[in-house]
Amino acid sequence: MLRFIFILTGLIFLACNSNETKKETTETQDSDTLKVSGLKKTGDHSYLIEPPDTAYTGDYVDKYENGNTKFKGFFRFGKRHGQWMAWYANGLMWSECFYDKGLKHGANNVYYENGKLRYSGFFKNDMRDSIWVFYDVNGVEVQRLKFKNNEEVPLAN
């Protein structure tokens, strides 16, 4: 269970809400697209993506120096909404999750840098819900856990 918590905490960087310790963001706004050349780095080494203001509605795109997309999503009234995706610098998918008015709600998939699925599960109102499946770097299932309201519950036989 501790391993699961460590993995989940380290990889679900898109929903981090800790205090800002360093700001590396420069923003330019083109119609309804927010483009940034950096992110706010937080104390736990994860990233906090914020809109330019609490009323911002529009697309969000961040790119690596090599031109590959790093993050892509949509803000609705300053909150993440709909599909959010992240990629490694090599262009392969890192994660994909869905939001509803700022809360994680729906499918969540996280991948290894080689493109293999690391884990998948569902969120309901920002809490883990349903079956979460974890894989090793070769894509072989290693663990299956069930959650209800963010609490692990026994798997039914």
Would you kindly state where each structural domain of the chain is located, as residue ranges?
Answer: 21-39+51-153
Q: What is the pLDDT of residue 52?
A: 79
In the numeric block, the tokens 């997309």 are attached to 69
Identify the pLDDT of residue 157.
65
Q: Residue 92 in contact with residue 85, Cβ under 8 Å?
A: no
DSSP state of 26: -
Q: What parts of the chain have a pLDDT lower than 50?
A: 1-46
Q: In what order do the strands lie in the sheet with 20-23?
A: 20-23, 40-42, 47-48
Q: How far apart are CA 69 and CA 90, in angstroms?
A: 10
Give the whole-angstrom CA distance, residue 142 versus residue 132: 11
Q: How far apart are the first and last CA of the chain?
A: 20
Cite the DSSP H helix spans in 35-147.
Answer: none
**Which architecture characterizes domain 21-39+51-153 according to CATH?**
Alpha-Beta Complex (3.90)
pLDDT of residue 16: 37
